[in-house]
Structure 1
């Protein structure tokens, strides 16, 4: 039995240890980390998954970002906010049990309930397609990010329609 709960500040070290276990050394050098540096995760959306013994099985975090400039139909440029999903990690002993999918589905539902319109991530398109993520043409992550790995999910219909621009830190 896996139970999800919002991540608390006291769990931060444990989540970071899980990320160190699941991802390659140097993960913090990736472009997505530059968007997170000095920015707090979005309260209430970052979750941990624990088993019946209280052991950490997985974790997911969300960060606010801005896409700028965005050309609107009136020709004016404006910034739009989005959630940057990641990292999501599952302890190696719990992989293949659906923990990652549970974290993604439930946290996306919570993001929609709290008024967010769009989510993006940098990841493997075939994996994230099953959750409804699609490539975001024209949305540019800081280099060196493979544009084919920039994916988006609409919490509101049409939320990514016509949005192009560079992803920036939302301080």
Structure 2
């Protein structure tokens, strides 16, 4: 498995992967496809890593900037997707670890994620109550500060994450 930055040639495979990975969700993957397409279109896709297995895209992890009043250089993780046949083999873990390391190397202040606390705790994410996302249950909105910049308050994602932006 090779973790690398996406190329233009990967876009169709990423769309297909998002559709497969989220086929059982309410939007059948269309929501995640729209988010990535809109982030890319608006120049807000800060980092998109893919897991390449023998030339096949097996996973993707997307990072984009988030806005927090009084704080700079924070990012949101998501969507993250792994092809159903590759799930449970460490693909998602490798993508997330590589992405967090890259953000840290770029001088990011931290990263937030809306997700399963038990899964994301392995990367150091936790809910400290200091950062909030209005559309999410608080226990599922997690943060990972890379440096103590005192970030507190409401987190705003790119409009593509809003259900209203369909």
Fold conserved between structures, TM > 0.5: yes
Give the superposed CA RMSD.
Answer: 2.5
Question: Alpha carbons of 1:14 and 1:135: their partners in 2 closer, same or farther (altered >3 Å)?
Answer: same
Q: Which runs of 5+ in 2 are unaligned?
A: 160-166
Q: CA deviation at 1:168?
A: 4.5
Equivalent residues of 1:140, 1:167 under 8 A apart: no
Distance in 1 of aligned mates of 2:108 and 2:117: 22
Q: CA deviation at 1:39?
A: 4.8
How does 1:27-38 map onto structure 2 within 5 Å? 33=35, 36=39, 38=42
Q: Which residue of 2 aligns with 1:7?
A: 6
Which one has more relative contact order, counting CA pairs under 8 Å at least 6 apart? 1
Q: How many residues align structurally?
A: 152
- Which string of whole-angstrom CA distances, capped at 9 and with x for unpartnered residues, describes residues 98-134 of structure 1? 1111111111111100111100010000000011100
User: Paired residue for 1:167, among 148, 156, 159?
Assistant: 156
User: Paired residue for 2:89, among 97, 120, 123?
Assistant: 97
Pair 1:46 & 2:25 matched: no
Distance in 1 of aligned mates of 2:71 and 2:151: 13
- Which string of whole-angstrom CA distances, capped at 9 and with x for unpartnered residues, describes residues 16-51 of structure 1? 211111112425658xx5x95845300xx3111011
Q: Which residue of 1 aligns with 2:62?
A: 61
How does 1:76-155 map onto structure 2 within 5 Å? 78-143=70-135, 145-155=136-146
Scaled by the length of structure 1, the TM-score of the pair is: 0.78
Distance in 2 of aligned mates of 1:166 and 1:4: 28
Q: CA deviation at 1:95?
A: 1.0
Scaled by the length of structure 2, the TM-score of the pair is: 0.80
> Which structure has the highest helix share of the two?
2
